[in-house]
């Protein structure tokens, strides 16, 4: 008797077609909420698959397909992101971006294609008890599209009880699954610091209050926030990513300088501590040099936190697909940010990674999604649905 095919092998015959969808999306990247071609592509596929409902325009340009199982039961959400990045592509792939200055440098084209592949099977087989909402989200890259969809009633409209997300991860073994309980990705906040000094002639520095010198000392002092104010066992990052001063003359000390940067953390107490300390350090260092500093702090995406029960389902589904040896259930967290965090604030759920193998890193001009992981990614969504909504309880 021939051995039973694995879930991933079941998608092997469909992988080439799904990869073609992915490459079509890759050639035509769109940014933020402005996704008319991408959203239409997704909605047309979902209708062709026979989804019971296809709703467009949730969270401005999100698309949701609803698939009812063979028996009644609870509802779950499976989410993929659709937007690209404002980067000039240098992958050299035959399906490289046709839009100058825009590219799918984070693999959202692959995420969308894999969830479409799973949606087709779910709509065809319906071997689960309950309802599955396949969620295609805009504006993950800085636009908080997940929050827009939540505020637009996503969870209530589709009665979603738990929600799941997945992201590809270059450098991790191809087709492996990585996850962890609790925080898995960081909160990301931004700060702008305006330093006010007193300008004058560069030959008379004693008659000036030099904002350039002050800004330099503020930048150095901020590097002590994590090393001296945060518990060494708590992950945190404060990075100054830009310094600029007014004026271009060599012999003029300007009156103002600015710094910008980012702060990242994996807990709300540390997040609040970073904000307070950046304000205090900037203000006090500036005062020591006779200047003034004003900090504008902008809160970004919150911490992405996995709930225990949904994560256990995700782990079992990943083992169903790849085997225990290819599932890391205690992977280290990443200090990047992910707006799926907003969906996890609205409903319990889990966010995991699928290894993309040896490739260029995310957000790199040379990056391209690894189509070889498509069968495993599609199979994960199918296995997760069967685990979360078993047809016989």
Any known ligand binding at 363?
A: yes
Query: Could you give phi then psi for residue 97, rounded to 5 degrees?
Result: -55, 135
Rounded Cα distance between 346 and 162, Å, is 9
Q: Are 24 and 82 in contact (CB under 8 A)?
A: no
What does the angle CA 109 – CA 112 – CA 117 come to, to the nearest 5 degrees? 125
What is the rounded distance in angstroms from the CA atom of residue 84 to the CA atom of residue 9?
29
Q: Which residue has the tokens 């004693």?
A: 206
What torsion, rounded to 10 degrees, do the Cα atoms 30, 34, 36, 37 define?
A: 0
Neighbour-count burial of 335, counting CB atoms closer than 10 A to its CB (0-12 exposed, 13-18 middle, 19+ buried): middle
Virtual torsion, Cα 327, 67, 7, 3, nearest 10 deg: 140
**Contacts (Cβ under 8 Å, ≥6 apart) of 29:** 84, 85, 97, 99, 102, 103, 104, 109
Q: Supply the DSSP symbol for 332.
A: P
Q: Residue 294 pairs with which residues in a beta bridge? A: 194
Query: Is residue 106 marked as binding?
Result: yes
Are 150 and 342 spatial neighbours (Cβ–Cβ below 8 Å)?
Answer: yes
266, 186 contact by CB (below 8 A): yes
What are the residue numbers of the active site? 83, 140
Which backbone phi and psi does 200 adopt, to 5 degrees? Answer: 170, -165
The reply, when asked if residue 206 is annotated as ligand binding, is: no
Residue 195 burial (CB count, 10 A)? 30
For residues 127 and 386, give the distance between their C-alpha atoms in angstroms, rounded to a whole number.
7
SS3 49: helix
Count CA atoms closer than 13 A to 109's CA, side-chain side: 30
Q: Is 279 annotated as a binding residue?
A: no
> Per the annotation, does 141 bind a ligand?
yes
- Distance, in Å, from the CA atom of 116 to the CA atom of 113, rounded to the nearest integer, reads 5
Collapsing DSSP to helix, strand or coil, 287 comes out as helix
Residue numbering of the annotated binding site: 106, 108, 141, 167, 363
Residue numbering of the annotated binding site for Mn(2+): 106, 108, 141, 167, 363
């Amino acid at each position: 008797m021939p051995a039973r095919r694995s879930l991933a092998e079941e998608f092997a015959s469909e992988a080439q077609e799904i990869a073609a969808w992915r490459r079509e999306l890759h050639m035509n990247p769109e940014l933020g909420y402005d996704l008319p071609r991408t959203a239409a592509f997704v909605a047309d596929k979902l209708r062709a698959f026979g989804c019971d409902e296809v709703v467009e325009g949730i969270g401005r340009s999100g698309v949701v397909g609803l698939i009812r199982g063979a028996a009644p039961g609870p509802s779950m959400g499976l989410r993929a992101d659709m937007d690209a990045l404002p980067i000039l592509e240098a992958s050299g792939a035959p399906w490289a971006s046709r839009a100058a200055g825009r590219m799918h440098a984070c693999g959202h084209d692959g995420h969308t294609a894999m969830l479409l592949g799973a949606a087709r099977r779910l709509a065809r087989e319906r071997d689960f008890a309950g309802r599955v909402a396949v969620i295609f989200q805009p504006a993950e890259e800085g636009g908080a599209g997940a929050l827009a969809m939540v505020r637009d009633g996503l969870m209530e409209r589709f009665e979603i009880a738990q929600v799941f997300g997945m992201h590809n991860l270059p450098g991790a073994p191809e087709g492996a699954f990585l996850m962890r309980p609790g925080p898995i990705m960081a909160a990301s906040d931004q700060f702008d610091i305006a330093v006010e000094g007193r300008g004058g002639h560069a030959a008379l520095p004693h008659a000036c209050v030099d904002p350039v010198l002050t800004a330099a000392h503020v930048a150095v002092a901020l590097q002590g926030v994590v090393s001296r104010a945060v518990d060494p066992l708590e992950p945190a990052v404060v990075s100054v990513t830009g310094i600029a001063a007014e004026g271009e003359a060599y012999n003029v000390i300007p009156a103002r300088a600015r710094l910008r940067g980012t702060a990242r953390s994996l807990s709300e107490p540390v997040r609040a501590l970073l904000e307070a300390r950046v304000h205090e350090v900037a203000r006090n260092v500036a005062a020591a040099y006779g200047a003034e500093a004003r900090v504008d702090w902008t809160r970004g995406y919150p911490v992405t936190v996995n709930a225990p029960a949904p994560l256990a389902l995700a782990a079992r589904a990943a083992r169903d697909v790849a085997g225990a040896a290819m599932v890391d259930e205690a992977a280290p967290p990443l200090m990047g940010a992910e707006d799926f965090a907003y969906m996890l604030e609205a409903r319990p759920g889990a966010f995991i990674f699928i290894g993309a193998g040896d490739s260029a890193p995310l957000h790199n001009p040379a990056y391209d999604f690894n189509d070889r992981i498509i069968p495993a990614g599609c199979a994960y969504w199918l296995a997760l649905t069967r685990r979360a909504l078993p047809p016989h309880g």
